[in-house]
Amino acid sequence: MSEPAGRPLRLAYLMSRFPKTTETFILYEILELERLGHRVEIFPLVLHRDATVQPGAAELVERAHDIRLLSLEVVRAQIHWLRRRPRRYVRAWAAAIRGNIRSPRFLLRALVAVPLGATFARRMETLRIDHIHAHWATHPALAAYVAARLTGLPFSFTAHAHDIYVDRAMLDEKIRAARFVVTISEQNRRLFERWYGPQATAKVAVIHCGADPAVFAPRPAESGTATPVGGSAASPLRILSIASLQPQKGQRFLIEACRLLVDRGVAVQCQLVGEGEERSALADRIGELGLQDVVELLGSQPRDRVAELLGQADIVVQPSVVLQSGKTEGIPVALMEALAAERAVVASRLSGIPELVVDEGTGLLVEPGNPIALADAIERLAGDPGLRIRLGRAGRELVLAEFDLRRNTAILADRFRESIEPPAGSAAETR
């Protein structure tokens, strides 16, 4: 699966925002598809401008289709489809309203996604797209659903985490209409089957997101030594956490665990990579606990800098939690990158994380929201460098086998190709 079979495909990719630092897995999936020889046209609902520009993003941003809702092009697209395919256009609107009527927030966003999807559809016809794919089961999948109904093109979408855990408005209709559905964990696949039965069994496939093991590689020379428990301040255990600063990421529990470790006499230095709404609250908590010299907020960082930081770290911690709304992780790509770099990891036992972080096998798992358990696991790794090395090596082996970006993107590309020639009798599903 390293090279495409047959002619290169022309793919349309839809997502909420592009590019977005917290969604670099989409960026690098697109880049890998293009390395395989396919052409990807990018249709974000919002063309996003992040301060941190990831390697490879600039050219794709220039190519992305920047379509504003309040534009003449959008108006013309609605008129075009009303004249050319009025029944499909009206039915797409009816399905969107009916499917989102019980969720005011989703209904409001559907009023944006439907006309944008219709406008995307016009451009897709001009571009001679072969297949439409959306990341996120919410509004991007709705826009893909609309574009597919209007053009007759096959479409699919990838479901991750909060896009199915928090609100599943219209999800059953999207599954029925899609040629196939990708989800990123076996945990999610089981949920789909529980919620939607046989149609989910037939449509939903697990294709993991992936890390590039060439970029996130072990540092050249492992010393085999590590700071013992209660190590000197000159050689503290170096902790790294990579995640957007949002409540479900749980960084405040890691900060509290650092306070416990310092009180126990364990010398640590902790760096938090990421940006987000929790930054001010986390900075305040660091100050309240007197950890200004222990915990550092680094903000967003480009991928090459993250790889450098992983090479300098002793362990990586992902203290995720589940919010009351249901919002939480799927399987964090940051953990895949850490394991690819042979870092020992500590993570929360939730969602699909145990599929990557096998407790005592490729890392240590703790119950979410428990700073004492976090501190205990970190202290254990601080005092056992051999365990750190063993977990890191096993983690990289698992990434190479199941979470390799190139391997999994090639599998996805094969599914796109299969969708162009569907089984007899299934073409009506996209109309």
Using alpha carbons only, give the angle 40, 44, 45 rounded to the nearest 5 degrees: 155
- Decide if pLDDT at 4 tops 60: no
Mean pLDDT of the chain: 92
- Decide if pLDDT at 198 tops 60: yes
Mean pLDDT, residues 195-199 taken together: 94
pLDDT-based confidence at residue 219 (cuts at 50, 70, 90): confident
Mean pLDDT, residues 46-65 taken together: 78
**Which of 44-53, 75-84, 129-138 bottoms out in mean pLDDT, i.e. has the lowest?**
44-53
Collapse the DSSP code of 132 into the 3-class scheme (helix H, G, I; strand E, B; otherwise coil) and give the result. strand
Mean pLDDT, residues 53-80 taken together: 89
- Decide if pLDDT at 66 tops 70: yes
Query: How far apart, in whole angstroms, are the C-alpha atoms of residue 33 and residue 29?
Result: 6
- What pLDDT is attached to residue 59? 84
pLDDT-based confidence at residue 2 (cuts at 50, 70, 90): very low
- What pLDDT is attached to residue 311? 96
pLDDT-based confidence at residue 54 (cuts at 50, 70, 90): confident
Please tell me whether the peptide bond between 19 and the residue prior to it is cis, using omega within 30 degrees of 0.
yes
pLDDT-based confidence at residue 92 (cuts at 50, 70, 90): very high
- What pLDDT is attached to residue 111? 96
Mean pLDDT, residues 164-177 taken together: 95
CATH class for the domain made up of 10-210+405-430: alpha beta
Looking at the DSSP bridge assignments, the partners of residue 44 are: 15
CB atoms within 10 A of CB 418: 14
**Which of 169-178, 223-232, 393-402 bottoms out in mean pLDDT, i.e. has the lowest?**
223-232
Assess if CATH 3.40.50.2000 describes domain 237-402: yes
Identical fold for domains 10-210+405-430 and 237-402, yes or no, is yes
- What pLDDT is attached to residue 23? 84
- Decide if pLDDT at 431 tops 60: no
- What pLDDT is attached to residue 228? 42
pLDDT-based confidence at residue 9 (cuts at 50, 70, 90): very high
Mean pLDDT, residues 147-165 taken together: 97
> In the 8-state DSSP scheme, what is residue 274?
B
CA distance to 6, 142, 176, per residue, from 135 (Å): 25, 11, 17
- Nearest Cα neighbor of 123 from 173, 168, 66, 161 is 66
pLDDT tens-digit readout, 306-330: 999 999 999 999 999 999 999 999 9
DSSP string covering 196-246: HTHHHHHHEEE----B-TTTS---S---S--PPTT--TTS-EEEEEES-S-
Contacts of 284 (CB under 8 A, 6+ apart): none
Q: Where are the domains of the chain?
A: 10-210+405-430, 237-402
With contact defined as beta carbons under 8 Å apart, do 387 and 237 qualify? no
Query: How far apart, in whole angstroms, are the C-alpha atoms of residue 369 and residue 248?
Result: 10
Helix, strand, coil percentages in the chain from 3-state DSSP, rounded to 5: 50, 15, 35
Q: 147: part of which helix (H) or strand (E)?
A: helix 139-151
Q: Long-range contacts of range 411-414, CB-CB < 8 Å, 24 or more positions apart?
A: 411/1, 411/207, 412/29, 412/33, 412/182, 412/207, 413/1, 413/4, 413/9, 413/33, 413/36, 413/38, 414/1
Question: Do strands 180-183 and 155-159 pair parallel, antiparallel, or not at all (unpaired)?
Answer: parallel
Mean pLDDT, residues 361-369 taken together: 98
Contacts of 172 (CB under 8 A, 6+ apart): 195, 196, 199
Collapse the DSSP code of 4 into the 3-class scheme (helix H, G, I; strand E, B; otherwise coil) and give the result. coil
- Decide if pLDDT at 56 tops 50: yes
pLDDT tens-digit readout, 96-121: 999 999 999 999 999 999 999 999 99
- What pLDDT is attached to residue 58? 80
Both tokens assigned to 420? 């162009």
Query: How far apart, in whole angstroms, are the C-alpha atoms of residue 251 and residue 258?
Result: 11
Mean pLDDT, residues 49-62 taken together: 75
CA distance to 56, 81, 121, 285, 294, per residue, from 290 (Å): 39, 62, 55, 8, 9
- What pLDDT is attached to residue 423? 52
State percent of the chain over pLDDT 70.
92
With contact defined as beta carbons under 8 Å apart, do 1 and 418 qualify? no
**Which of 41-50, 224-233, 356-365 bottoms out in mean pLDDT, i.e. has the lowest?**
224-233
With contact defined as beta carbons under 8 Å apart, do 27 and 40 qualify? no
CA distance to 21, 28, 157, 179, 412, per residue, from 131 (Å): 26, 19, 11, 10, 12
- Nearest Cα neighbor of 184 from 208, 153, 163, 210 is 208
pLDDT-based confidence at residue 226 (cuts at 50, 70, 90): very low
**Which of 13-27, 41-55, 390-404 bottoms out in mean pLDDT, i.e. has the lowest?**
41-55
pLDDT tens-digit readout, 368-410: 999 999 999 999 999 999 999 999 999 999 999 999 999 999 9
State percent of the chain over pLDDT 90.
85
**Which of 15-24, 61-70, 117-126, 202-211 bottoms out in mean pLDDT, i.e. has the lowest?**
15-24
- Nearest Cα neighbor of 252 from 313, 301, 321 is 321
pTM of the model: 0.91
Collapse the DSSP code of 431 into the 3-class scheme (helix H, G, I; strand E, B; otherwise coil) and give the result. coil
- What pLDDT is attached to residue 72? 97
Query: How far apart, in whole angstroms, are the C-alpha atoms of residue 13 and residue 354?
Result: 29
CB atoms within 10 A of CB 187: 18
- What pLDDT is attached to residue 62? 87
- What pLDDT is attached to residue 428? 41
